[in-house]
């Protein structure tokens, strides 16, 4: 009597394990898809950031070149003024202004050279990343498509497994089903386990002589003294 119910419980437990395994797989898929989508997004963002930085560097360079240009014009004006001044002091003062402007031009030109080197290095890096972006994006999108296909597949299998599990509940006495549901909701499966060498196969601890005797008689459901799982004698 109990033996038959144990057999039914074991079938139910097997099917329950299949359901749980498939549910677990299904639960992890959205996270995996999200991870791949974030990878694409991060790479896209990195490209955009590099592009924006290149633009800023170009703006700086243009500004400096304009400053050099206007300083140059200023120098030309000073030189023209020098042709017109009469006093030596005024001439000297203009020479001083010209020297100051030339010094500024020289500093700015050095900055321009440093910027150009930086722009070259960043452009090279940008081109490298841009050239692999499309292919790596499509590879990642492939992985996402595979996961989506996998999700559909697992959803189908899960429906089937749930139907199988419910089917195995149908012929079972309500009180046994209640015991199973209660155990399975709070203890990690399996909750219907054999006793081997007087040890519970669930918690691997020794069951008491009384419990062992009760299991041997097989008149009622026996539970492990330690973990509360239903135990039965395998042989
Ligand atoms: Zn146990």
Collapsed DSSP state (helix, strand, coil) of residue 175: helix
Q: How far apart are CA 203 and CA 228, in angstroms?
A: 9
On whether the CB atoms of residues 22 and 160 are closer than 8 A, the answer is: no
- Cα separations in angstroms, 217 against 21, 119, 211, 231, 233: 34, 86, 10, 12, 10
Q: How far apart are CA 120 and CA 112, in angstroms?
A: 12
Residue 234 confidence (pLDDT): 83
Ligand 1 centroid to Cα of residue 18, in Å, is: 22
The domain locations on the chain are 24-169, 173-235
Ligand 1 centroid to Cα of residue 21, in Å, is: 23
pLDDT, tens digit only, all 235 positions of the chain? 788 999 999 999 999 999 999 999 999 999 999 999 999 999 999 999 999 999 999 999 999 999 999 999 999 999 999 999 999 999 999 999 999 999 999 999 999 999 999 999 999 999 999 999 999 999 999 999 999 999 999 999 999 999 999 999 998 999 999 999 999 999 999 999 999 999 999 999 999 999 999 999 999 999 999 999 999 998 6
Q: How far apart are CA 58 and CA 115, in angstroms?
A: 8
Q: What's the CATH code, domain 24-169? A: 1.10.287.1490
Ligand 1 centroid to Cα of residue 83, in Å, is: 108
Ligand 1 centroid to Cα of residue 205, in Å, is: 6
The model carries a pTM of: 0.73
Q: How far apart are CA 228 and CA 11, in angstroms?
A: 20
For 152, counting Cβ atoms within 10 Å of its Cβ (0-12 exposed, 13-18 middle, 19+ buried), the class is exposed
Q: Where are the alpha helices (DSSP H) in the chain?
A: 2-84, 88-169, 174-186, 209-217
């Amino acid at each position: 009597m109990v033996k038959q119910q144990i057999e039914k419980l074991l079938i139910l437990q097997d099917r329950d394990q299949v359901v749980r395994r498939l549910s677990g797989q299904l639960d992890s898929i959205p996270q995996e898809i999200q991870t791949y989508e974030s990878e694409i997004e991060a790479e896209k963002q990195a490209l955009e950031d590099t592009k924006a930085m290149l633009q800023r560097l170009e703006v700086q360079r243009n500004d400096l070149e304009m400053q050099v240009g206007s300083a140059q014009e200023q120098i030309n004006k000073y030189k023209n003024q020098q042709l017109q001044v009469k006093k030596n002091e005024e001439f000297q003062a203009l020479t001083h202004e010209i020297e100051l402007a030339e010094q500024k031009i020289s500093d700015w030109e050095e900055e321009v050279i440093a910027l150009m080197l930086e722009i070259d290095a960043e452009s090279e890096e940008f081109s490298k990343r841009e050239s692999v972006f499309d292919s790596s994006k499509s590879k990642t999108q492939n992985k996402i498509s595979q996961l989506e296909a996998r999700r559909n597949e697992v959803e189908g299998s899960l429906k089937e497994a749930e139907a199988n599990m419910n089917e195995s509940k149908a012929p079972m006495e309500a009180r046994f089903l209640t015991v199973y549901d209660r155990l399975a909701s709070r203890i990690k499966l399996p909750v219907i386990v054999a006793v081997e060498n007087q040890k519970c196969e669930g918690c691997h601890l020794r069951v008491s002589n009384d419990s062992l005797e009760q299991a041997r008689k097989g008149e009622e459901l026996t539970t492990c003294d330690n973990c509360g799982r239903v135990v039965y004698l395998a042989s």
